[in-house]
Chains A and B, each alone.
Chain A
Amino acid sequence: MQNFCAGSSVTGDGMARTIRAKILAITVVSLLFTCMVSLIYVWQIMNLSRMLFNAQRFEDLLNDILEVRRYEKNFLLYGDPKNLTESLVYLKDTRITIKTLAKDIDRVMGKGTYVKFANLLEKYSFIVDNSLKNKSITSEDAEKLRTYGKKLVDIANSLVSRKRKLIRKTFGHTAAVPFVFLGVFVIVATLMVQLVFQRLLKPLKVIEDTIERVGRGDFSPIPGEWSEEDEISRLIRAFNSMAHELQVNQEALIQSRKIAAIGTFTAGIAHELNNPLNNICLCADTLIEEYADELSPEVRELVFDIIQQAERAADIVKNLLDFSRTDRLVLSCLDLREVIQKTYRLVKNQIMLAGIRFEMDIPDDLPKVLGHFRSLQQIFLNLFLNAIQAIESHGSITVRAVEDSNEFIRVDVIDTGKGIKPEDLKHIFTPFYTTKGVGRGTGLGLSVTYSLVKKHGGHIEVESEIGRGSKFSVYLRRCKPELCENGERSVNSGSG
C-alpha cells in the first residue's frame, strides 16, 4: 500500500504547469480516492454484519412460524387445546419480531409485505384465539388456518432465501473493492512513472549528455523546444543560456590570449627590426644628403624607393608595437563629439578625395565617455580608414552614438562599402588577418582597435552584409566621476 502524505491543495497560478504541481495533484487525487474506497469498504463490512444479524432474525422468525404450525398440526390432528396455548406464545413472539423487522421486510420483499404479513398473522391469531375459547374448530376455520399458516411459512421462507441472496451479492461487491483499488493504483503508478520518465529522466539524460559535450568544448545548446514553464524546461533554458555565455567567454578568452601571445612575440620582433630599419634609412638618407649631385635620376629614384620601403616597414613595426603595447591607459572623461571631429580632420582630405559623404549623428546631450584621447582617436582612425578602403567609389560613412545602457555608450561606424564575407567576419580582429590586397594593409589595424577597445573596458562588435556595407559598434564605458583618474568631472549637459 502506498504511503500518501496528506498534501496541501494546489493553489497559485502557473503552478499547475510545474512537475511539482503535477505530482502533488496526482497524490491528492489518489489520497481522496483511497479515502473514498476505504469508507466504502468499511460501510460494506458494517452493512454485511447488519445483514447477517438480520438474516439470523429472519431465520428465527421462520422457526417460530414453523413451531406455530407444528402446534397447529398437533391440534388439528389430536384436538388438544393445550397446543393452541403454546401456539399463541409463539404467535406473540412472531408478532413482536416482525414489528421490529418491519422495515427490513419491506426492503427485502417489497413495500406492503409487512402489512400483508401482519394481517395474515392477525387473522391466524384470531382463529387460534376463537378455537381456544370454543375448545374446538370448525372445518371451515381449520381450512383457513391451514391456508394462512402455509402463506406465513411461504413468506418467511422467501424472506430467508432472499436475504441470503442479498448477502451473497453484497459479499461479491465487497470482494471487488480491493480489485478496483488495485486497478486505480496501477493507473496512478503508470501515470507517475510516465510523468517522471518523460518529464524528468529523459530530459536529465539529455542534460547529462550535453554536459559531457560541453566538457569536450562543444557549446551548442540542448536541442528541442523548451518553452514550457516546468522545472526541467526552466533548467534547460538556464543551461542553454549558460552554454551560450560560456561559448562567448571562451571565444573572447581565446582571442585575448592569442592576442597577448602574439603581442609578446611581435614586440620582440618589432624591436629587433627597428635597428636594421634605422640603419637602412640612415644609409639611404646619407646617400641622398651627401651624394645627391653625383647621382643619376634613375639611381636617385632607386634610393627614394629604398627610403620609402624602409618607412613602410617602419610603419608596420610601429603598428606592431602599438598592438603589443601592454601599458595601462590613463582614462579620463572625454567628449566623444570632440574625439570624432578631431579624428575626422585627420582623414578629411582622403574622404573628400574618394568622394565619400561623412555624416555624424551624435546627440548634444550624450554623456561623456571614459577614454584615452589618443587611443580613442586611433580606434576611430582605424575604423575610418577601413571604411574608406571598403568604399570603392562613392558612398557614405556614418558615425552614430547612442546610450546603449546605464554603463555603455555605443558608437556605430557604418559604411556603405563592399561588406565583409561571413567566413572572414570572425577573423577580422585576428592579427595579420587581412582581406586587402598585398601591400594595402598590415592586417593589424582592427586587432589594434580591438585591443585598444578592450583596454578601455569596452568591446567591439561587427555586422556586415556583402554589397551593402558594414557596421562596427564600439561600446565605450560611460563616464562616471569616480572612474576618472584625472579628476575631471563629467557633466551630462554637453558643453559642445
Chain B
Amino acid sequence: METTERKTTILLLDDEPIVCKRLKPYLEKNGYEVETFTDSSKAMGRIEERDFDIVITDLKMEGIDGMTFLTRVKEKSPSTQVIVITGFATMETAKQSFQKGVFDFVAKPFKLSEIHEIVRRAEKKLRQEAASM
C-alpha cells in the first residue's frame, strides 16, 4: 500500500559497488527514495545532514565499520530502522547488532525479494510507531 505523501527514505551503505548498483534501482522501482554509499565516512557525513527512515548497512568495511556507523545512526535518530547485511554472520555480531536496536540481520548472499520483504516489514513498524506517538 503506497502512500501518496512522502516516499520512505533509505540509505544504503556497502563497500561493494554492485550491491549499491543493483539494490538502488530495484528499491526505487518499488517506490522508495534511495541514496547509496560505498564509502562509510561519506555516509557518516550524510546522516549528520538528514535522517533516513531506513538504513541498510554492511558490517565489515574499510575505515568506519558498520557497527560504529549504525551506533551513530541510532544515536542521532532512534526511530530509524537499521537493517544489517553481512558476509560474515556470527552469533556474536548478530547478538551485538540486536543489542544496538537493529531491526533485522541478513546474511549474504541474499535475494532482492528478501531485502524487499524486510524493508516492507521495517516500513510497517515505522508506521505503527508513528501512529502510536
Contact = CB atoms under 8 A, between A and B. Distances in A.
Contacts of B23: 282
B108 A275 contact: yes
B26 A289 contact: yes
| Chain A contact residues: helix, strand, loop or mixed | helix
B22 interface: yes
A274 interface: yes
Contacts of A270: 88
A41 B88 CA distance: 97
Interface string A266-289: 010011101101111111011001
Contacts of B108: 274-275, 277-278
Contacts of B92: 327
A325 interface: yes
Contacts of A289: 26, 112-113
A275 B112 contact: no
Contacts of B88: 267, 270-271, 274, 321
A283 B112 CA distance: 10
A376 interface: no
Given A274-B108, A289-B26, A279 B16 contact: yes
Contacts of A321: 88-89
Contacts of B87: 271-272, 274-275, 278
B110 A281 contact: yes
Interface in A279-301: 279-283, 285-286, 289-290
A389 B25 CA distance: 44
Interface residues of B, number: 22
A278 B112 contact: no
A150 to B, nearest CB: 133
Given A325-B90, A327-B91, A327-B92, A274 B109 contact: yes
B111 interface: yes
Contact of B22 (A274, A277, A282, A310): A282
Interface in B39-71: 60
A281 B111 contact: yes
A232 interface: no
B109 A310 contact: yes
B31 to A, nearest CB: 15
A314 interface: yes
Given A285-B111, A285-B112, A314-B109, A278 B19 contact: yes
Contacts of B130: none
B18 interface: yes
Contacts of B25: 286, 290
B19 A327 contact: no
A198 B86 CA distance: 71
A286 B109 contact: no
Nearest to A288: B112
Contacts of B113: 285, 289
A282 B87 CA distance: 14
Contacts of A271: 60, 87-88
Contact of A282 (B18, B60, B91, B107): B18
A485 to B, nearest CB: 15
Contact of B19 (A282, A290, A310, A311): A282
A267 B108 CA distance: 14
A114 to B, nearest CB: 119
Contacts of A325: 90-91
Residue with the greatest number of chain B CB neighbours at <10 A, chosen from A282, A286, A290, A310: A282
Contacts of B60: 271
Of B18, B109, B110, most A-chain CB atoms within 10 Å: B109
Contacts of A290: 25-26, 29
A439 B112 CA distance: 27
B26 A279 contact: no
A274 B89 CA distance: 10
Contacts of A285: 22, 111-113
Nearest to A271: B88
Interface of A: 267, 270-272, 274-275, 277-283, 285-286, 289-290, 310-311, 314, 321, 325, 327
Given A275-B108, A286-B25, 11 more contacts: A267-B88, A274-B108, A275-B87, A278-B19, A278-B87, A278-B109, A278-B110, A285-B22, A311-B109, A321-B89, A327-B92
6 contacts: A270-B88, A274-B108, A278-B110, A280-B109, A282-B22, A282-B109
A-B pairs with lowest CB-CB distance, top 5: A274-B87, A278-B109, A278-B108, A279-B18, A281-B109
